[in-house]
């Protein structure tokens, strides 16, 4: 049997085989590691999704906040996507993406801490102090994540913006090296008076003749 045939025999061929593979892997069956690794090598989107730790952290916080309310659950998901897109902007670097994920997770932790601190009527004095300390810590982590993103963006080179081409107006004096070319006077001489640049032919030629 060739190497290719062994690979095809070892890989899950259908949904049922794949489900069995995943179930055995989640139970810690190490005998499926060769098949699992081969499957993940051929399906990078699977390990990229399952291995996204920021998403796992978000899911944990969302469950704590929304509990069994699916409306709140889905609304928070959409709000997180909106915040992430707003913070990341266009064409973010990998480091910016990572820091934006951190900010989003810290915001969720801060929101949950605020909710727990707000429900002080149900807690003892010791519990209230605990939740207030937790709120302060969550706020510091959130601010630190924001500061880190700001510092990174200060160090990154600014993106070059396309320079608009200058539209030449035949009625206006031409420009040389970024400065307006002095317009010739009526007598054929070139006057360097700045007023001649501004007014063109309407330069006060008489003042120079006098």
pTM score:
0.61
Task: Dump pLDDT digits (tens) for 170-204.
Answer: 555 555 555 555 555 555 544 445 444 444 544 44
Burial of 39 (0-12, 13-18, 19+ CB in 10 A): buried
- How many other C-beta atoms lie within 10 A of the C-beta of residue 203? 21
Task: Dump pLDDT digits (tens) for 124-181.
Answer: 888 888 889 999 999 999 999 999 999 999 998 876 444 444 444 555 555 555 555 5
């Amino acid at each position: 049997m060739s190497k290719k045939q062994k690979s095809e025999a070892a890989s899950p061929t259908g949904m049922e085989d794949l489900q069995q593979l995943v179930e055995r892997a989640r139970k810690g069956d190490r005998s499926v590691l060769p098949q699992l690794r081969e499957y993940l090598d051929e399906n990078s989107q699977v390990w990229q999704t399952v291995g996204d730790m920021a998403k796992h952290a978000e899911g944990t916080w969302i469950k704590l906040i929304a509990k069994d309310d699916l409306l709140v659950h889905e609304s928070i998901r959409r709000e997180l996507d909106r915040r992430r897109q707003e913070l990341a902007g266009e064409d973010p670097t990998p480091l910016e993406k990572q820091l934006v994920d951190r900010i989003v997770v810290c915001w969720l932790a801060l929101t949950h801490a605020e909710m727990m601190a707000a429900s002080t009527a149900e807690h003892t004095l010791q519990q209230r102090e605990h939740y207030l300390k937790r709120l302060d810590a969550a706020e510091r982590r959130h601010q630190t994540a924001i500061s880190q993103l700001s510092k990174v963006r200060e160090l990154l080179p600014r993106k070059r913006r396309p320079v608009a081409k200058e539209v030449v107006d035949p009625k206006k004096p031409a420009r040389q090296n970024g400065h307006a070319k002095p317009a010739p006077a009526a007598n054929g001489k070139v006057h360097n008076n700045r007023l001649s640049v501004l007014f063109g032919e309407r330069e006060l030629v008489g003042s120079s003749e006098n």
